[in-house]
Structure 1
């Protein structure tokens, strides 16, 4: 299966309240929807992750809930589309145009102000142990060149957090003793920071509710960069969830023409990798890089990448691979192709990878759904690429919950199949008739009942898995 993830969406229809308060926002929207014969948004109920519509029947509502932000609030209170593109601010710091966290990267100077992230008045500040040069901005990235000899620090903004990536460019740079342990100074305001059992970090408020979270750090080399498959081909068959179906230019690419991928995006086929537990103290976060990867004497294994990240604990989604690679709160990437499901190997002359299985998990919080009577529920995905023009079965399953520390080895337990779909989309003109990227909807009584129980408070989080039904089929 393939797709392009913007927001992962659960579309839920819930019973509306009575008209006892005729001038409420809900009642006004219901009246207008009934009069117009079309859905009307209840704008007062907007959040960064949810959109509510009054239905034309005048009594029910439809709520769309996403696992990534669909809008961000601006300083004047208005809403805008999330946009993590970095800009220089009046105070000299660097931050995203529109995000659901207050995020500021250093404009250069003292390393103690490397990054500030704030949500609801609660904040974390991380510092670099040294002076920072003025960063070079490139879209969502701020690159601080040569923070150590031959080592760049690349800070990437997301709509919910940030990613720190150390790029060790040469064998000589890797020999620097300062890379044996990398420590970032830490200051928390209104939060208590602690390690997680899986090697990550969590920052909780005074009520022990997680505000920010971090998975274990990941480290990888460039041994596989000479191949023409790997990351690029994998992204072309990636699966993701979205409320839109705008095809990216690469969505129609034949996978046999895959090209060398961007090594900063994560480990590709043939790259060696290692998971690095985050060491947490009251005033520092630290990682100890893998000595074998740093000590490689083959210059072709460089650059080597070391990637810790921090994000908002609001909703969650994670990508798991059977070879141990994971990506918590992954994004679509610059090509808008997202991540994949199914078995990544070879099929009909097309090479995807050396033989691993991919799964996608999406976790929802009850939020505005709590207490509603659910009449129907739909989980919507956009498939952006498939290996064949012939449809393959994709299953939507409920599982136990995920966290930033979830790996393939600790993957959630299956709690039952919610819905299935027999689909093929994204190959465009390679099929006759053409099959452009297309939204896929999962719905049915099992999903509706489960979402109803979720709304009733029978469990605190709803986690859904998108997976190929036959995970031995290399064309699925």
Structure 2
């Protein structure tokens, strides 16, 4: 068994090496694949096909004569003038700006003073968020920048990911949060309490997901959806849930508008989680009042006509209600979109796999990978020539808190083929 390690909810793709003779493996492959397979067999080590590298996918030739392609929901690599490099979210200061090493959406954070708090850019088009007042110099730690006392009684924490920024605004007292927006080449569109930044053709380049607001470090039950509202040209407000008072923490996600995952919650049945940078969740934390499910889209282009040996989806579970294993299910579902909510969730078509696991509660059951077999799904996609497939994650019992699980939100599909 060979393991490729990546980032995200389904961040570890388990690759199953299947024995095959060299002539059979080479016969139905491209010239680049034949070369890689022969080198893998000669050296006894996996060989990556550099021609196949993309932001979300990679293919490896195995010494046993098979090919393994891995496809993630969020990007794992970034194209640079020097070629593909791994995503690097570690922050550094460059000319009084704070920037990550390599992300698919160009990200800049404020180095302090009157600079925008954050700026996302793509091919000369950009959207920037300005804090209402000068910012202190940030404290940097890995992918995180903390602006202490950004306003009296308010701290702002920015966490950079592969394609955007997650802001946490911690305030000593509840009240609307207002920002100025600077845009170039895009216009702002209010979408049911979330925001889209669209170009002249109506294509969404950036997005701000539904804000989530709770008490600082209050856990899942403490969070409720707020709303973004465009209150004037170039100004946006985060409206807090009704009845909130005292210290609050608002979670705001700003991303390139390309993620292919979402979540639904029966307790907030009309709310979309599209583009969220939070965890993927399944089950309930309050005996069924809130039932959560997560959905992911995988790219299956290039598999048509190929012989699929095996396929799996592997995820990093980072929270369970206890160390007592409980089943979680992966299903084939209908398609998802930014309009997907609990009331408008896709059809659940077929159960693919059920696993009884508990990871992430504590040192006796630490966070770890969970692998679901999806071979029939991918074989069917290859036969039908499908460009993508959608899967849904849900608890087997959505009224029992012991089934509650949280996962990182970047799935990886691993396919072994001849």
Band of TM-score, shorter chain: 0.7 to 0.9
SS of residue in 2 equivalent to 1:462: strand
1:114 is aligned to: 117
Instruction: Tell me which of 173, 196, 200 is aligned to 2:194.
Output: 200
- Alignment match, 1:30: 37
Q: How many residues align?
A: 387
Q: 2:240 aligns with which of 284, 290, 307?
A: 290
Query: Cα 1:443–1:268, aligned 2, differ >3 Å: closer, same or farther?
Result: closer
Question: Which residue matches 1:414?
Answer: 348
Q: Which residue of 1 aligns with 2:140?
A: 137
Equivalent in 254, 257, 262 of residue 318 of structure 1: 262
Post-superposition shift, 1:65? Answer: 0.6
User: Is it true that 1:395 corresponds to 2:329 in the alignment?
Assistant: yes
Verify: 1:52 aligned to 2:48, yes or no: no
Shift in Å at residue 207 of structure 1?
A: 5.8
User: Is residue 382–residue 437 contact of structure 1 (8 Å, CA) maintained in 2?
Assistant: yes
Structure 1's 7 and 93: CA in aligned 2 closer, same or farther, altered over 3 A? farther
Alignment of 1:164-203 (within 5 A): 164-170=167-173, 174=175, 179=176, 182-189=178-185, 191-196=186-191, 198-203=192-197
Relative to the length of structure 1, the TM-score reads 0.68
2:227 to 272, 276, 292: 276
Counterpart contact for 1:83–1:98, Cα < 8 Å: yes
Q: What's the CA shift for 1:103?
A: 0.8
**Cα displacement (A) at 1:276:** 0.8
- Report the CA distance between 1:93 and its aligned residue: 0.2
Residues 55 and 154 of structure 1, relative CA distance in 2, 3 Å threshold: closer
Counterparts of 2:122 and 2:349, CA distance in 1: 33
Partner of 2:209: 215
Rounded to whole Å, the distance in 2 between the matches of 1:164 and 1:388 is 29
Query: Displacement, 1:453?
Result: 5.9
Q: Which residue, out of 124, 127, 136, partners 1:124?
A: 127
1:253 is matched with which residue?
none
Aligned-pair distance for 1:31?
1.9
Who is 2:96 aligned against? Answer: 92
Q: 1:161 pairs with 160, 164, 178, which one?
A: 164
Within 1, Cα distance between the matches of 2:210 and 2:228?
A: 5
Q: Runs of 5+ in structure 2 lacking a partner?
A: 1-6, 17-23, 404-418
Cα RMSD of the aligned pairs, angstroms, is: 3.8
CA deviation string 1:412-467 (max 9, x = no partner): 3323222333445567885xxxx66553322255322443267x24xx64321122
Q: How does 1:233-382 map to 2 (within 5 A)?
A: 262=217, 268-269=220-221, 271=222, 273-279=224-230, 284=234, 286-290=236-240, 292-293=242-243, 296=245, 301-302=246-247, 304-324=248-268, 339-345=280-286, 356-366=290-300, 369=302, 371=304, 373=306, 375=308, 376-382=310-316
2:208/2:275 contact within 8 Å kept: no
Task: After superposition, give the CA deviation of every residue in 1:373-419 in whole Å (9 maximum; x if it has no partner).
Answer: 36142212244555566654321112233345644344333232223
User: What is the DSSP-based 3-state SS (H/G/I as helix, E as strand, rest coil) of the residue aligned with 1:308?
Assistant: strand
Whole-Å Cα distance in 1 between the matches of residues 206 and 380 of structure 2? 28
Normalising by structure 2, report the TM-score.
0.76
1:49–1:65 contact (8 Å) kept in structure 2: yes
| Inter-partner Cα distance in structure 2 for 1:322 and 1:71 | 35
CA drift of 1:38 comes to 5.1
